[in-house]
Amino acid sequence: MKAIKIGLILFSILLLALPAFAQEATEEPEELGSAEDLETTEEEVAAAVEALGEDGFIAIIACTYSTEWHFTVADSAQTYAEELGLRVEAFDSEIDVEKQISAIENFTSSGADVIIICLFDPPSVQSALEEAAESGIKIIQYAGRQLADIGGVTISAEDEDMGRIAGEYAAQLINDELGGEANVAILDYPDIQNVVVRADNIRAAIEELAPDATIVGNYLGGTTEFGLASMETALVEHPEINVVVSINDAGALGAVQALENAEVEDAIVVGIDADSQAIELIKAGDSYYRGTVSTVPDVTGVMTINAAVKVLAGSEIPQNIAVPVSLVTAETLAEMED
Amino acid sequence: MSILALDNRQDLQRRVINIVGEQGFIVIFALWALYLTLNTDNFATTNNAFTVLRQAAVIGIVAIGAHFIILLGDIDLSSAATLTLCGVIMAKLMVQEDYAPLLAGIVTIGVGVLIGLINGLIITGMKINSIITTLGTSSVLGGLALRQTSGKTIAGDQIDAIEFLSRERLLNNNIPLPVIIMFVLYLAAFIILRRTRFGAHVFAVGNNARAAWLSGINTNLVKVMAYMLAGGLSAFGGIMQVARQGTATGTMGGDFLFPILTAVVLGGASLSGGRGKVFNTLIAAIFLTTITNGMVLLGYDINTQRIVSGGILIVALSLDRVRTLLL
């Protein structure tokens, strides 16, 4: 009897806790500015240098330096800032919340004027950033839009756009080359909410534009090893898979290896991020890799510094700014070379 | 019922509980394999069996080194970082420095052995706890790997020269080479542990380091050698992983530490040292791979896969505790 009572209590607690597992809705930003809104003048740069004074600086807090995309954003921002004569300090959070919180606190106490930050767990660092904002530090977020609520400027490509463009291109190839019929695997990485949005939009675009294609399932990707292992097993169960669309290039590169290992003759792989290895394969033309979506990390880095200059100079800028997103294929690469 | 019959029954009961407790994960593995055989079309096929074994190869090979370290009563948290750094070094030497594959491999394994030597010397010479030491070296090695790659993927046609380590099939084109390498290394580890003086010393140090020292065993040397072996195996795991994915990245081994250590612990090796069967580590590494493999074959979504695999692991690890409670 006692056991039943304890069981009922635990069951009630579980029921009460269920809402905590619900997915949070993503809020759409209202109006988006563009890279043109961030173009700076010499006067603004001079004003920014003056505003920093002798001790001030711009802090860049990266999510990680371990992926090409994140490394390029932080590195190009730092290089560009130094070219403009702005003092800058960069920090690698290594996808560690505690390290990121400490970095925000340290930069706040050491006199940063602007913090440019990439967030991977926004709620956990919100309070440290609010404290920084209250002490007068300007906050600029890239790769996300969560900081608009505390008055931060956000500079980000839209994950919806990335997923949709990758899905649309895959659907186009399915229609043009496979007669509209294909067996599609989507490589996902559900740990990051933004990435789930990409996968959802890949699926939606394929279902809409290539309705006769069969989406076999979502598989774990995100890293080359996960993409490789997932696709190896998926190909055992579904050897008919001939199209793979991935939420990033790292996972897609694993899928390419799995398809090669399984000696699949013809397949189509599309990724996102425009990693150099993916671009090499697309350019070579003899690989399954057919396209990727570029979110121009070097441009993103420059945009963050331009935003910092504008903010330091006291100029008006839109609060939410979109990073241009574009499809990279063998054709677009050939056009660029011409 | 006579007293003799009752004794026999209790004895049988105790033996069953002992087997289930000591080899519990094998029981769960067998049940899981049976479930997958009945509920999927492709689990019990030769093709899938070799897919599983090939996927288990890298973790299985590095887990041999982790097994030696755990037998000593230590833990090596730097194995995945060693794998990553050595994979990056291998790829860089081949792609950017045009080293011949064999020379690049020798240098890479040498670096792994050197990392093990450093770990061993810090632990034995400075008497610093193995967890703290290897946590520190893991951070250093991870940083070095990222610095070497700058976040980029190292790729190039030169890596094709070692792809045979992942793709080649031997014995009438049937058995993948990585699977054969893994089994050969486990056999060698078994022989070292059970048939050599060094193996006996590893068990002796793990059981009671002071008693081993008093009986004349150079305990520090045994530990340093075990760490060098583990470092070399991690480096070889890195080479195998480069061959497998055809590229190297600064985070390529980031997700390997958990399955490497889990394979050893799930295989029944005691964390306090001195007890463990190396072939059980091999079976556990294969079991861990079949969990993910089975989930994909069953068509479960990714989040459900994580919940169920965590549950299976907890049940498998709990059986030893059940044995202790029942006996």
Residue B245 has pLDDT above 50, yes or no: yes
The residue whose two tokens read 């920084």 is: A132
Say yes or no: A166 and A280 in one domain.
Answer: yes
Whether A44 is covered by a domain: the verdict is yes
The torsion angles phi and psi of B166, rounded to 5 degrees, stand at -105, -35
Whether A8 is covered by a domain: the verdict is no
Confidence band of A253 (pLDDT split at 50, 70, 90): very high
Say yes or no: A228 and A317 in one domain.
Answer: no
Say yes or no: A50 and A152 in one domain.
Answer: yes
What are the chain B neighbours of A232 within 8 Å (beta carbons)?
A: 51, 54-55
CA distance B55 to chain A (A): 7
> Interior CA angle at B246 toward B242 and B251, to 5°?
55
Say yes or no: A192 and A248 in one domain.
Answer: yes
Looking at domain B26-326, its CATH architecture is Orthogonal Bundle (1.10)
Residue B162 in tokens? 């070692």
Predicted pLDDT of residue B321: 65
Predicted pLDDT of residue B108: 97
Say yes or no: A153 and A35 in one domain.
Answer: yes
* Domain carrying residue A175: 159-294
Closest chain B residue to the Cα of A230, Cα to Cα: B296
| Higher-scoring residue by pLDDT: B84, A144 | B84
What is the number of other CB atoms lying within 10 angstroms of the CB of residue B309? 16
Number of independent structural domains in chain A:
2
Q: Tens digit of pLDDT for each residue in B146-166?
A: 888 887 889 888 999 999 998
Please state, for a pLDDT cut of 70, what percent of chain A lies above it: 91
Whether A19 is covered by a domain: the verdict is no
- CATH value at residue A50: 3.40.50.2300
Q: Given an 8 Å threshold on Cβ–Cβ distance, is B246 in contact with A250?
A: no
Determine contact, residues B268/B317, Cβ cutoff 8 Å.
no
Predicted pLDDT of residue B320: 61
Rounded to the nearest 10°, the torsion over CA A271, A143, A79, B151 is -40
Say yes or no: A309 and A275 in one domain.
Answer: no
Predicted pLDDT of residue B11: 80
Q: Does A193 touch chain B (CB under 8 A)?
A: no
Widest distance between CA atoms in chain A = 81
C-alpha B249/C-alpha A67 separation (Å) is: 8
Q: Tens digit of pLDDT for each residue in B207-220?
A: 999 999 999 999 99
Predicted pLDDT of residue B239: 97
Q: Given an 8 Å threshold on Cβ–Cβ distance, is A228 in contact with B296?
A: no
Q: Does A71 touch chain B (CB under 8 A)?
A: yes
Q: Given an 8 Å threshold on Cβ–Cβ distance, is B305 in contact with A220?
A: yes
Whether A10 is covered by a domain: the verdict is no
Q: Given an 8 Å threshold on Cβ–Cβ distance, is A66 in contact with B251?
A: yes
Whether A15 is covered by a domain: the verdict is no
Q: Does B108 touch chain A (CB under 8 A)?
A: no
Q: Given an 8 Å threshold on Cβ–Cβ distance, is B245 in contact with A67?
A: no
Say yes or no: A79 and A90 in one domain.
Answer: yes
Determine contact, residues B125/B274, Cβ cutoff 8 Å.
no
> Interior CA angle at A116 toward A115 and A118, to 5°?
125
ipTM: 0.72
Q: Given an 8 Å threshold on Cβ–Cβ distance, is A223 in contact with B241?
A: no
C-alpha B266/C-alpha A229 separation (Å) is: 22
Determine contact, residues A266/A249, Cβ cutoff 8 Å.
no
Q: What is the mean pLDDT of residues B292-313?
A: 79
Say yes or no: A98 and A190 in one domain.
Answer: no
Name which of A65, A217, A233 is nearest B293 (Cβ-Cβ). A233
Residue A95 in tokens? 């996808």
Say yes or no: A141 and A264 in one domain.
Answer: no
> Strand B247-248 and strand B154-155: pairing?
antiparallel
Residue A21 has pLDDT above 50, yes or no: no
Say yes or no: A186 and A290 in one domain.
Answer: yes
Q: Where are the domains of chain B?
A: 26-326
Residue A72 in tokens? 């390029």
C-alpha A229/C-alpha A222 separation (Å) is: 11
> At A97, which helix (H) or strand (E)?
helix A97-109
CA distance A20 to chain B (A): 16
Predicted pLDDT of residue A22: 44
Q: Given an 8 Å threshold on Cβ–Cβ distance, is B146 in contact with A66?
A: yes
Confidence band of A20 (pLDDT split at 50, 70, 90): very low
Predicted pLDDT of residue A23: 41
Whether A217 is covered by a domain: the verdict is yes
Say yes or no: A135 and A192 in one domain.
Answer: no
Confidence band of A26 (pLDDT split at 50, 70, 90): very low
C-alpha B203/C-alpha B206 separation (Å) is: 5
> Interior CA angle at A309 toward A303 and A310, to 5°?
90
Whether A25 is covered by a domain: the verdict is no
Please state, for a pLDDT cut of 70, what percent of chain B lies above it: 94
Predicted pLDDT of residue B310: 75
Helices B79-95 and B219-245 meet at what angle, rounded to 10?
50
What are the chain B neighbours of A254 within 8 Å (beta carbons)?
A: 245
B 54-73 near A (Cβ less than 8 A): 54-55
DSSP reduced 3-state for A60 = strand
> At B87, which helix (H) or strand (E)?
helix B79-95
Q: Tens digit of pLDDT for each residue in B33-54?
A: 999 999 988 899 988 999 899 9
C-alpha A179/C-alpha A212 separation (Å) is: 9
Q: Does A218 touch chain B (CB under 8 A)?
A: yes
CA distance B300 to chain A (A): 9
Q: Tens digit of pLDDT for each residue in A87-113?
A: 999 999 887 888 898 889 989 888 899
Name which of B41, B153, B303 is nearest A275 (Cβ-Cβ). B153
C-alpha A306/C-alpha A70 separation (Å) is: 18
Whether A176 is covered by a domain: the verdict is yes
Say yes or no: A171 and A285 in one domain.
Answer: yes
Q: Given an 8 Å threshold on Cβ–Cβ distance, is A253 in contact with B299?
A: no
The residue whose two tokens read 């009752």 is: B6
Q: Does A251 touch chain B (CB under 8 A)?
A: no
